[in-house]
Chain A
Amino acid sequence: MIERILHLWPARKGAAPIVPEKSVAGRTLLLLITIMSFLSAVTLGGVVLVQKSAIAWSADVGREVTIQIRPVEGEVMDSNLRTAVSLAESTPGVASARALTIEESQQLLEPWLGTGLDLTAIEIPRLVVVQLSDPVDADIEGLGRNLAAVKGASLDTHAAWRQQLNTMAGTIVLSGLLVLILIGAATVLAIVFATRGAMATNREIVDVLHYIGASNKFIAGEFQGRFLSIGLQGGLLGTVAAMLFFALIGTAAGNMLSSEAGAQVGVLFGRFALGIDGIVGIVAVVPVIAALTAITSRVTVRRFLAETS
């Protein structure tokens, strides 16, 4: 399969490469680098998706605070609701404030109490949704102080939720970066073994090059060129596969999100769209993997030559 794809790779012009392009070690390494690149790109894409979803969710939640008014004996709920709305609207940085209707409040309780219940006889807490125009400069503390005048009122800024969300997203991002580092380390080790194997396989070529006066630098350069080519090909194949993977996931998620349940998943986890920054990050895997391959092979070849010459 890989061989067929590589036939599409532009043929090298000029003098033939001194290190043969078709060697067993080269094919094995190409497959390995393709897999590593795919894993790196998928991990990187996953990290970007999680981070973008967390930022978007955190921003959404951060643009809204909720005032909860519990029923208190001797207090008129509607009056307290109006006062709370009025206090909220007069607070700097607040765009709008709206008390949820009885029906909306009942809908919020349906998941726990079920449908079809008549809640008019029960006093239930009521909510005022406050939209902030400027989450950074909004005087939330002032609003909290002012709400002390309304009995049974409390202000929920969702700070705890946001903190938990940010912690979770940060943990996932850090884990993703750790996985990337491990993949990088595994790639380096695989390249070291493959390079030493290739050097042993091509020992005759190395000897001939030494005999005709080639420096270790020249020989290392020839091997590095070969490995750079493998790294570029493997990086590109792995990255293209990762792009296809995300496109497939995005399409599948898009179909799933057309349902109501899927829409909630979409709200929570985004729409699996990498965005331009995610695509740039994934494309950057190609030169990074190629450079990693070239540098590792060069260092390994130089060490091998120093040991054997």
Chain B
Amino acid sequence: MIEFSNVGLRYGNGPEILRDLTFSVEPGSFHFLTGPSGSGKTSLLRLLLLSLKPSRGRVTMFGEDVSNLTQDRLLQMRRHIGIVFQEFRLLDHLTTFENVALPLRVLGQPESEYRPNVTELLEWVGLGERMNALPSLLSGGEKQRAAIARAVIARPKVLLADEPTGNVDPDLSSRLVHLFAELNRTLGMTIILATHELPLLDQFNYPRMLLSKGELVIHD
């Protein structure tokens, strides 16, 4: 599903942030992406999200080389990728329901069509009672669950998560990763979850991609 071959990345004329990355990710798998701050986790996620192009090497996603994609094709491929951020990035003026429904609205679905699906998903992530609340009234855990729901509502093939547990307490962190695991198990979604919380990783038996100074030192 995802293949990186000798991929390097630099911003402008600066030094290489990522060097010689070679790995593959199988459909339906779950990977932790870890490493210390500044190791390049977010840059790698941005490459996977197709919001950056590699400076060298070859990236293949869904069987297609991404180096020469047209704008339309890039957009189509990006719709197969969901993203969850550490800082949630919910739109403050929209309710939980409206935030979660956003990807379907972007796809042009009418509200009458997506309302049952969004309601069902919000109930599944435990936000059934908070559908009409604005993000400012949600707790950190609720915000992150809403962000996860928004990322998966359009059933992407790949779900990326950039430090999704960074703003919640350890107990909630574990519950959130269980939620990701549930999505992986029930929907067969490929998940790459970036975190630097090693105790959290130890609770789950998923392969780890360890980045250090821009290089992938472990991929099991």
Give A residues with C-beta under 8 Å from B: 14-16, 18, 20, 204-205, 207-216, 218
Total residue contacts A-B, CB cutoff 8 A? 46
Question: Given the complex of chains A and B, what is the CA–CA distance between A215 and B150 in angstroms?
Answer: 17
CB-nearest residue of chain B relative to A212?
B103
Set of chain B residues within 8 Å of A211, measured between Cβ atoms: 49, 51, 78, 83, 89
Closest Cβ of chain B to A208, distance in Å, is 5
- Given A210-B51, A212-B150, do A15 and B103 touch, yes or no (CB 8 Å)? no
B154 touches A (CB below 8 Å): yes
Contact across chains for B91 and A14 when beta carbons are under 8 A apart: no
Question: Given the complex of chains A and B, what is the CA–CA distance between A14 and B107 in angstroms?
Answer: 17
Stretch touching chain A among B19-27, B94-102, B183-191? B94-102
Give B residues with C-beta under 8 Å from A: 49, 51, 71, 75, 78-79, 83, 89, 91, 93-95, 98, 101-103, 105-107, 111, 150, 154
Set of chain A residues within 8 Å of B49, measured between Cβ atoms: 211
- Given A210-B51, A211-B51, A213-B75, do A18 and B95 touch, yes or no (CB 8 Å)? no
Set of chain A residues within 8 Å of B102, measured between Cβ atoms: 18, 208-209, 212
- Given A15-B111, A204-B89, do A215 and B94 touch, yes or no (CB 8 Å)? no
Question: Given the complex of chains A and B, what is the CA–CA distance between A211 and B91 in angstroms?
Answer: 13
Closest Cβ of chain B to A226, distance in Å, is 12
Pick 26 A–B contacts, CB within 8 A, sort by A: A14-B111, A15-B105, A15-B111, A16-B93, A16-B94, A16-B98, A20-B93, A204-B91, A205-B91, A207-B89, A208-B91, A208-B102, A209-B102, A210-B51, A211-B49, A211-B51, A211-B78, A211-B83, A212-B83, A212-B106, A213-B78, A213-B107, A213-B154, A215-B75, A216-B71, A218-B106
CB-nearest residue of chain A relative to B83?
A211
Set of chain B residues within 8 Å of A209, measured between Cβ atoms: 102, 106
Question: Given the complex of chains A and B, what is the CA–CA distance between A296 and B107 in angstroms?
Answer: 25
Question: Given the complex of chains A and B, what is the CA–CA distance between A20 and B103 in angstroms?
Answer: 17
Question: Given the complex of chains A and B, what is the CA–CA distance between A204 and B107 in angstroms?
Answer: 20
Cβ 8 A contact of B106, one of A14, A204, A213: A213
CB-nearest residue of chain A relative to B89?
A208
Set of chain B residues within 8 Å of A213, measured between Cβ atoms: 75, 78-79, 103, 106-107, 154
Set of chain A residues within 8 Å of B93, measured between Cβ atoms: 16, 20
Q: Which 9 A-B pairs have the closest CB atoms?
A: A213-B79, A214-B106, A20-B93, A212-B103, A213-B78, A211-B83, A208-B89, A215-B75, A16-B98
Question: Given the complex of chains A and B, what is the CA–CA distance between A210 and B49 in angstroms?
Answer: 11
* Interface-central residue, A210, A212, A216, by most chain B CB under 10 Å: A212
